[in-house]
Chains A and B, each alone.
Chain A
Amino acid sequence: MNQISFPLISFLIWLPILGGVILLFVREGYTQLIKLISYSFSILVLLLSFYLLVIFDTSSSDLQFQEKHTWISSLNIYYHLAVDGFSVVFILLTTVISLLIVLFSFTEERSQNNKFISLFLILEGLILGVFSAFDSILFYIFFEAMLIPLFLIIGIWGGSNRVYATIKFFIYTLVGSVLMLVSLIYLSIESKSFFIHDFYSLKLDLETQIYLFLAFLFAFGIKIPMWPVHTWLPDAHVQAPSSGSVILAAVLLKVGGYGMIRFLLPITPEAGIFLNTVIVPLSLIAIVYISFVALAQTDMKKLIAYSSVAHMGFVTLGIFLTFNILVPANNTNTEMILIGLQGSIMQMISHGLISAGLFMCIGIIYSRTHSRSIETQSGVGQVMPIFSALMMFFLLSNSGLPGTSGFVGEFMVLISSIEVNGLYAVLASTSLVLAAAYSLWLGKRVLFGEVSTDTIKGMSNLRYDEFWCLFILMLLVILFGIQPNLILDISHASSNNMISIILNRI
């Protein structure tokens, strides 16, 4: 087992939170000091996560860099942190996106910027906690605590209808996670431990599994979000400030997918098989139906929000198809299913980068024209050519263009879906046309054509910091499109191990 002498993961979690707390005490006027503190903390965290990647042993699926301290000894609850392949992938996504968000947040004028950025740093720490907690109560606490900073971000700096959106978002996700808490407590009573990996070896009958499955599905399905519990997402996005939308789409949604892989797959596989004909169609509905809904949008943010739901449909599809390895009658090739599971992870990372880029682009337009309307704005390309090229790039990668990371995940999930059932693949592959339709339509209406209003004519050039945010994201999208191995290698051993855990359950 891989061990180091200092608590690396604790540092990863608590450093940004510390930075956030310090920022709260800085007076608003000291812009330079605010910048210095927020940059140094987020860059430090990013470097720590790179260090984690470097010393992480990708060939092993064991938990690495474990930190285990007694927390509530009477209940057997531990402060237990560790990472495996799944965690590392998402930790890197979080740290990269968080740094870009800090960079991006300084491009916009707002009151109380120190508190705004402080909340993002705290949020970063909590998300990193979710991805590295291996004690289920600790996981739950991070999972819930994550809501609070975002609640404040949308509630304080959001749009005109922000109160409705925040309450909807908060109650929606809370309802789901309460059910999860009940299941976690049940599991811990059964296994006499709160350690998540101890749950994996529990022998549960089918009925119990189904209840647990539905509880977890509800919690993570709302988070990711799946159809039909997605309706909080468009509202939250529309009301959120740009940086809030970025972190929401790029990282917070991925917690749902991460949770599904961590809990649904290994704990309740038989229920997954039993309910497969219900949950797989839900993913397909998300892909096809939501793409159509996206096509009808007139607000840029809503369009991308719906497109996120559709893309997450591929993630859940890849995860749910994994259960099919347990059906011997299907004669399913485990290797193909493994590709699908890995594809889900790839799709999450890719969507994290692409949606971050798109929401930043929309934020850049909004900060200049104060409108997100698709129908009344056009001709941005003539005023801001470089910006338009970048936005067009993100739109095209959103439609799954090969050579960008957007293609890889969908391709991999399609492989496993065709292995299980050709019909699934046919339905899922309509996304090729539908995603292109809504993405290109957005580009056509907003970027091309004649300049429609005076505000567009008066748009100021892309600033350097805005450019670098988008440019770095673009480079990453291309890099992972050409070399997806960089991501897939990290999670490969863990995915392999997950498959064998599921196979051993029966």
Chain B
Amino acid sequence: MSLGISALIILLSPLVGALVLIFYKDKSEIKSSVIANISIFISFIFSLMLFIIFLFNSSTTYNYSNLVWFESNNLIFTFGLLVDSLSVIMSFIVTFISMFVHIYSIGYMKNDKSFNRFLIYTNFFTFSMLVIIFSNNFLQLFIGWELVGLSSYLLIGFWYKKPTAIYANMKAFLVNRVGDIGLLLGVILIFINISSLDYMRFFDSLPDLSNTSISLGSLSFDLLPIIALLLFTGAAAKSAQIPLHFWLPDSMEGPTPISALIHAATMVTAGIFMVARLSPLYDLSAYVLDIILFIGVLTAFLMGLVALVQTDIKRIIAYSTISQLGYMTVSLGASYYSFAIFHLLTHAFFKALLFLCAGSIILKCHHEQSIEKMGGLREVMPYTYYTYLVGALSLVGFPMFSGFFSKDLIIDLFKFHGDYLTYTILISGIFVTTIYTFKIFFKVFFGPNKLKIKKTDQIEHSDVIIIPLLGLAVPSIVIGFALFDSALFNDFFKSSITDSGRLETIYNDFVRSSLSFTLHSFLTFNFLALVSGLILSYILYYKNYQIPKNVTQKLESIIIYVKREYGFTHLSDVFFPRIFNNLSNMLWKKTDVAFLDNFIVNGIANRIRIFSSSLRLIQTGYIYHYAFTMIIGLLILLLFFYNF
């Protein structure tokens, strides 16, 4: 079967599923979930098939565009499909995670009366995400981009009675829209310069464009860096990079399976994917890469610290997600786009796993989310315990786990290139990551069972919850190792991403092979940071070593400062809303109502009325008044004519 048809099936199957669910009258949960699961499963099977085909022959690309959106003389806007190694691996990730999240939702969302609506949203999300992935032009990218934003909006606010949820979803949508301004302007800039929005046309005309400049007022800029920067604004908002990150922690108001699917594994990585997809552009926009690197480092480190001071299990993992996205951004900034995609891949599995574990814990604890109130769940939920451990080890980058291969690769890159400042910051990032990851581990699974949750004879949850945990734990262990030599360093991305030359250098001079990379890693600072973080976490949260009072007091103000995200919380929740509110009220009441309407419009009417009512006074109806006026008038006329 041809690649195009397969991609089309992958793309449309979730949409068809969603449509069937919308018009499906019978609201039984089982039938709905069967429909949703089958549609995703079809997508997954075809994605898997494509992935395997590309593992053997990654150099094929299939670029097809036919469906016309609109045309104007010789300018045509089309929809199309681009199937290459990058889109294939992304669609594999998305459909894989989506499939397990769908299964998990059957257990997690049961007894929710809007279960059908939930499945419609998730199916629609999967479709929108695939629209981005298989897009072969910027227009379709933008459309998919907004549609995933829409799905995220709908799903965060899924429980629409909760005031916090409907606040969070609006915040998420608006922040993403800010980024979308950049993306849209960038896309249009491309269009007016090359009269097309096709990726391939754009890549072909890059050499010509590199000498073009644009002017804004009296300033003149090189075109390509401006485009790259504008597009990255969109990516930064979607992938929650500083300073547009603050919507993601609040998005945890949505159901947990959604946090796993959208706000950890797939949608938030769309920004990373886009930059990797446009690697030829970013290769040519030098200083933009430095900005990206800087933002990535900042996000990776600072947001890791915020995770450290949180107590809500989902928020910890959310900040961890932001921080890990920071690592991917760092790798993009260093123009090793493939490494970013590789980390995206492993991260998708272990972070989805961690979220689903969190969901399983929350479900067992009757929707309690604070880790301070949990404890001793190791006996009660063995499956969650072990799978969480797998996810945690993968996240912190313990050698041989998936996360290790992708994350340490990114970090070691800076050692290889001799950028020791970035290297140090990223290594301290590992330290922080390990502390908060195992903070959850020790606090939740060990210590006294504070919530008095009894161990039942049955398995901890129904199968539909356990199977996804196991299904995600396997790739969290093996996929990094499995794809390291055979795909990442085997020119898998050569036909879609431009960094294959650099990859070859680093492989020959530094990595050599997965085995030597692993063995060598035990002697690096990375491992040292990991182990010391682990020990510290063990002392603080397992042994419950009491930090001396005077130290905690001194730390207090710093912790509060970090908890407020270095002031970002204030900015986003108080400062900007207030400015918007005051400005709009002022414009409305002062300018629109008071000045334009009352002063000008009604004012003119009033003045006419005053004028005419004073004029009316002359019309008294008394003959002697009129006679008097006539005489005066006659006198004035006489004076005028005789010109005395």
- Chain A residues engaging chain B, CB cutoff 8 angstroms: 168, 171-172, 228, 231-232, 289, 292-297, 333, 335-336, 338-339, 342, 379, 381-382, 396, 401-403, 407-408, 411, 414-415, 418-419, 422-423, 425-426, 429-430, 432-433, 436-437, 440-441, 444, 447-450, 482-485, 488, 492, 496
Contact = CB atoms under 8 A, between A and B. Distances in A.
B487 interface: no
Contact of A415 (B153, B192, B583): B192
Contacts of B580: 292, 295, 437
A396 B150 contact: yes
Given A172-B601, A429-B185, A440-B153, 11 more contacts: A295-B580, A297-B588, A422-B216, A432-B184, A433-B174, A433-B181, A436-B173, A437-B174, A448-B161, A483-B69, A485-B69
3 shortest interchain CB distances as A-B pairs: A402-B143, A296-B584, A295-B584
A365 to B, nearest CB: 17
11 contacts: A231-B596, A335-B195, A382-B161, A396-B150, A418-B189, A422-B216, A436-B173, A444-B167, A448-B166, A449-B163, A483-B70
B175 to A, nearest CB: 9
Interface string B130-173: 00000000000011001100100100010011010011001001
B418 interface: no
Given A296-B587, A335-B73, A448 B157 contact: yes
Given A292-B587, A418-B188, A432 B177 contact: yes
Contact of A425 (B69, B185, B592): B185
Contacts, number: 131
B617 interface: no
Contacts of A168: 601
Nearest to A416: B192
B174 A436 contact: yes
Contacts of A414: 184-185, 188
Contact of B160 (A292, A381, A402, A415): A381
A130 B215 CA distance: 42
B72 A338 contact: yes
A373 B170 CA distance: 20
B178 interface: yes
A292 B580 CA distance: 8
A65 B215 CA distance: 47
Contact of A336 (B192, B581, B583, B589): B192
B601 A485 contact: no
Contact of A339 (B72, B143, B173): B72
B173 A492 contact: no
Nearest to B73: A335
Contact of A228 (B70, B581, B596): B596
Nearest to A396: B150
B161 A449 contact: yes
B74 interface: yes
Contacts of B177: 432-433, 436
B584 A401 contact: no
Interface in B587-643: 587-589, 591-592, 596-597, 600-601, 605
B585 interface: yes
Contact of A492 (B72, B174, B180): B72
B199 interface: no
B286 interface: no
Contacts of A382: 161
A293 B587 contact: yes
A488 B69 CA distance: 11
B166 A449 contact: yes
Contacts of A228: 596, 600
Contacts of A232: 601
Contacts of B68: 485
A77 to B, nearest CB: 33
A368 to B, nearest CB: 19
Given A433-B177, A440-B173, A441-B170, A422 B214 contact: yes
Contacts of A430: 181
B583 to A, nearest CB: 6
Given A335-B74, A444-B170, A450 B601 contact: no
Contacts of B170: 440-441, 444
A333 B192 contact: yes
Given A292-B584, A436-B174, A444 B166 contact: yes
A209 to B, nearest CB: 27
A97 B153 CA distance: 31
B191 interface: yes
A196 B553 CA distance: 82
A231 B597 contact: yes
Nearest to A338: B72
Considering residues B195, B217, B588, which has the most beta carbons from chain A within 10 angstroms of its beta carbon?
A: B588
Nearest to B219: A422
B119 to A, nearest CB: 15
B71 interface: yes
Contacts of A444: 166-167, 170
B519 interface: no
A441 B191 CA distance: 33
Nearest to B22: A389
A433 B174 CA distance: 6
Contact of A449 (B69, B150, B160, B581): B160
B184 to A, nearest CB: 6
B453 interface: no
Contacts of B160: 381, 447-449
B72 A296 contact: no
Interface string B206-246: 00000000111100000000000000000000000000000
Nearest to A228: B596
A292 B589 CA distance: 11
B309 interface: no
B19 interface: no
A441 B216 CA distance: 33
B75 interface: yes
Nearest to A484: B70
Contacts of B588: 292-293, 296-297
B178 to A, nearest CB: 6
